[in-house]
């Protein structure tokens, strides 16, 4: 009777937890039993591991095999445990030295022919393994560029089971990641090749966009088709600075779990821009899935922009489900098997046409929607959601004269991005020592305790609170934007100019 142990990683949301894998090959009725595997995908692992071993010409032990995965309580889903199960059996059967497999972590799915296939979530898995200090992680070759993003981890990329067994037997000359010639892993640019200077005739919306970028605020744009709402939204990422390394790793981890990282350039160093269509499922937008819970658009937009064009067309329950992430920066996806929480701190940009026929104010077409129909259409966006939108602007068609007049004020994304960066640095300095870096992240309680503008600056809001035009939640939004306006104006604290401007941005579309 022989026992061998090794390690792998299970993902809970985007957090990697260590899983101990133990194989026991001994006397008894020949057969294999897997313990601690609740998911059907894992019982399929048994068949894949067996075929991969046999087809790689390793003898399948003619004995009773028990494989246990601990802790049993961890939800272990997916195929990434194949490799750990296979090496534990090979270790217990004496094909590879048991002491060689005890320390490394093994991640990967086995093909029936012994090939090692890429899996989702390698980055967060390796981050989870790295908590144990100096570790060695064996990953599928196709995932190696992603795995090496984690500092101080020895990554062993393997293409098939034979290559892995050779390495474990010899114990030297590990296969090396193929892209080693790069001093630094290649990065994705993410941002589309567009520029704010393309948008002429919308000075107020351009200004609002810069404020959003500087403070991380949410924006809602109302206007007929063809006024540039989508163009404006697409240019918001071009005003944002590169992600700092810790945020880049967070973003990359989420995209890794979703399985949407490009294999050759995995590091997401730019803020993502995610634009789901209104026909997308709630699971695609919020997160979900039938067997494995996957992050949705709200999490793929983490540290970036979530743009929802034709916002009133989205189902009501999807719009309502946006409230939790907008408020907390996280989204909890509940399913029968339990709930998973994903990061979801994004800048929400909503765009809407004034009516369902989308021809309002068009000079050639005539809109026949009654005021009631228009009101009902925009009413699909609930008050509680709009309360959470910091800035609301109306985007109208510009006359030829306005276009010509605006031309001289148009600035490039690069120019505006410099101002945004300076304002962001100012905010980050003020927030140094806290977990927040932008004004939008400051929680309400802290905002009122530590960042309350002077009584004089608060006066415009007090009047609106009294008349009920401003809600308590709206007040928080106004104060945050006022701070951003002060940061953009290079002022130490917001005055009445800033609070007045922030208030009219919040009231916006009425």
100 or 374: whose CB is closer to Zn ion? Answer: 374
Site stretch for Zn ion (CB under 5 A), options 135-143, 171-179, 350-358, 446-454: 350-358
Q: Distance between CA 397 and CA 371 in Å, rounded?
A: 20
* Residues of this chain, 172-211, that bind Zn ion according to CB under 5 A: none
Q: How far is the CB of 225 from Zn ion (least distance, A)?
A: 11
**155 by DSSP, 3-state: which?**
strand
Between CA 330 and CA 266 the distance in angstroms is 23
Nearest residue (CB) to Zn ion, 64 versus 397: 397
What do you get for the CA distance between the two ends of the chain, in Å? 76
Alpha-helical (H) ranges within 74-160 are 82-92, 98-101, 122-129, 144-147
- Distance between CA atoms of residues 117 and 132, nearest Å: 25
Sign of CA dihedral 449, 454, 456, 457: negative
- Taking the complex as a whole, the smallest distance from the CB of residue 377 to Zn ion amounts, in Å, to 8
Least distance CB 371 / Zn ion (angstroms): 11
From the CB of 310, what's the least distance to Zn ion, in Å? 13
Query: Which of 210/355 has CB closer to Zn ion?
Result: 355
Among residues 276 and 356, whose Cβ is nearest to Zn ion? Answer: 356
Among 148-156, 236-244, 349-357, 437-445, the segment contacting Zn ion (CB under 5 A): 349-357
Q: Which is nearer to Zn ion, 123 or 367 (by Cβ)?
A: 367
Q: Find the angle CA(291)-CA(297)-CA(302) to the nearest 5 degrees.
A: 115
Beta-ladder partners of 268: 188
Of 303-311, 337-345, 355-363, 462-470, which part binds Zn ion (CB under 5 A)?
A: 355-363
In the complex, the smallest distance separating the C-beta of residue 311 from Zn ion, rounded to whole angstroms, is 16
What is the C-alpha radius of gyration for the chain, rounded to an integer number of angstroms? 27
65 in Cβ contact with 33 (< 8 Å): yes
**Cβ closest to Zn ion, residue 226 vs residue 384:** 226
Q: Mark 296-335 with x for binding to Zn ion (rule: CB under 5 A) and - for no binding.
A: ----------------------------------------
Q: Residue 169 in 3-state DSSP?
A: helix
Cα(306)–Cα(309) distance, rounded to whole angstroms?
A: 10
Residue 222 interacts with Zn ion (CB under 5 A): yes or no = no
In the 8-state DSSP scheme, what is residue 290? S
Binders of Zn ion in range 365-394 (CB under 5 A): 367, 369
Angle between helices 245-258 and 122-129 (to 10 degrees): 120
Nearer to Zn ion, 361 or 441 (CB): 361
Interactions with Zn ion, residue window 232-261 (CB under 5 A): none
Determine which residue in the list 357, 421, 489, 507 makes contact with Zn ion, applying CB under 5 A. Answer: 357
For residues 177 and 450, is the Cβ–Cβ distance under 8 A? no
* Separation CA 216–CA 346 (nearest Å): 8
Stretch of 92-100, 120-128, 162-170, 354-362 contacting Zn ion, by CB under 5 A: 354-362
Q: Which residue among 21, 205, 355, 502 contacts Zn ion (CB under 5 A)?
A: 355
Q: What share of the chain is helix, strand, coil (3-state, %, to 5)?
A: 40, 20, 40
Distance of closest approach, residue 510 Cβ to Zn ion, in angstroms: 19
Q: How far is the CB of 509 from Zn ion (least distance, A)?
A: 16
Measured from the CB atom, the residue of 219 and 367 that comes closer to Zn ion is 367
- Give the number of residues in contact with Zn ion, rule: CB under 5 A: 4
| Closest C-alpha to 252, from 186, 347, 318, 334 | 186
Tell me whether residue 113 or residue 365 sits nearer to Zn ion (CB atom): 365
The number of beta carbons lying within 10 Å of the beta carbon of residue 50 is 18
Residues that bind Zn ion (CB under 5 A): 355, 357, 367, 369
């Amino acid at each position: 009777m022989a026992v061998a142990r090794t390690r792998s990683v299970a993902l809970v949301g985007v957090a990697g937890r260590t899983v101990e894998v133990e194989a026991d090959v001994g006397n008894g009725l020949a057969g294999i039993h897997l313990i601690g595997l609740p998911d059907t995908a894992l019982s399929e692992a048994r068949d894949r591991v067996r075929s991969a071993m046999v087809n790689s010409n390793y003898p399948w032990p003619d004995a009773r095999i028990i494989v246990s995965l601990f802790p049993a309580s961890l939800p272990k889903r997916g195929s990434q445990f194949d490799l750990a199960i296979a090496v534990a059996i090979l270790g217990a059967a004496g094909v590879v030295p048991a002491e060689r497999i005890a320390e490394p972590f093994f991640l990967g799915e086995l093909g029936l022919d012994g090939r090692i296939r890429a899996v989702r979530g390698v980055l967060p898995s390796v981050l989870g393994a790295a908590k144990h200090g100096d570790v060695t992680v064996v990953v599928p070759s196709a995932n190696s560029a992603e795995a090496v993003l984690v500092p101080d981890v020895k990554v062993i990329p393997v293409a098939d089971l034979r290559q892995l067994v050779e390495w474990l037997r010899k114990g030297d000359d590990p296969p090396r990641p193929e892209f080693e010639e790069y001093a630094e892993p290649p990065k994705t640019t993410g941002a589309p090749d567009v520029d704010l200077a393309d948008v002429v005739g919308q000075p107020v919306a351009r200004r609002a966009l810069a404020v959003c970028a500087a403070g991380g605020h949410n924006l809602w744009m109302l206007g007929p088709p063809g006024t540039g709402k989508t163009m404006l939204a697409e240019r918001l990422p071009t005003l944002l600075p590169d992600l700092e390394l810790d945020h880049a790793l967070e973003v990359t981890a989420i995209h890794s779990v979703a399985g949407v990282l490009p294999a050759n350039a995995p590091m997401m160093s730019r803020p993502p821009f995610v634009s789901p269509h209104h026909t997308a499922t709630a699971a695609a937008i919020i997160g979900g899935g039938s067997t494995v819970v996957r992050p949705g658009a709200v999490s793929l937009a983490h540290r970036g922009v979530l743009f929802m064009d034709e916002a009133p067309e989205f189902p009501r329950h999807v719009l309502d489900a946006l409230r939790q992430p907008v408020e907390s920066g996280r989204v909890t996806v509940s399913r029968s098997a339990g709930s998973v929480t994903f990061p979801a701190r994004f800048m929400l940009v909503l765009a809407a046409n004034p009516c369902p026929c989308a021809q309002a104010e068009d000079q050639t077409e005539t809109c026949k929607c009654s005021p009631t129909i228009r009101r009902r259409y925009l009413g699909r966006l609930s008050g509680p959601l709009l309360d959470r939108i910091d800035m609301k602007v109306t985007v109208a068609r510009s006359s030829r004269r306005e276009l010509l007049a605006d031309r001289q004020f148009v600035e490039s994304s690069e120019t505006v991005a410099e101002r945004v960066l300076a304002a962001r640095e100012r905010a980050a300095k003020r927030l140094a020592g806290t977990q927040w870096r932008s004004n939008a992240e400051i929680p309400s309680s802290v905002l009122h305790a530590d960042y309350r503008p002077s009584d004089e600056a608060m006066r415009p809001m007090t009047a609106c609170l009294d008349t009920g035009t401003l809600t308590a939640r709206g007040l928080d939004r106004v104060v945050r934007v006022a701070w951003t306006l002060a940061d953009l104006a290079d002022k130490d604290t917001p005055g009445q100019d800033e609070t007045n401007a922030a208030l009219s941005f919040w009231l916006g579309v009425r």
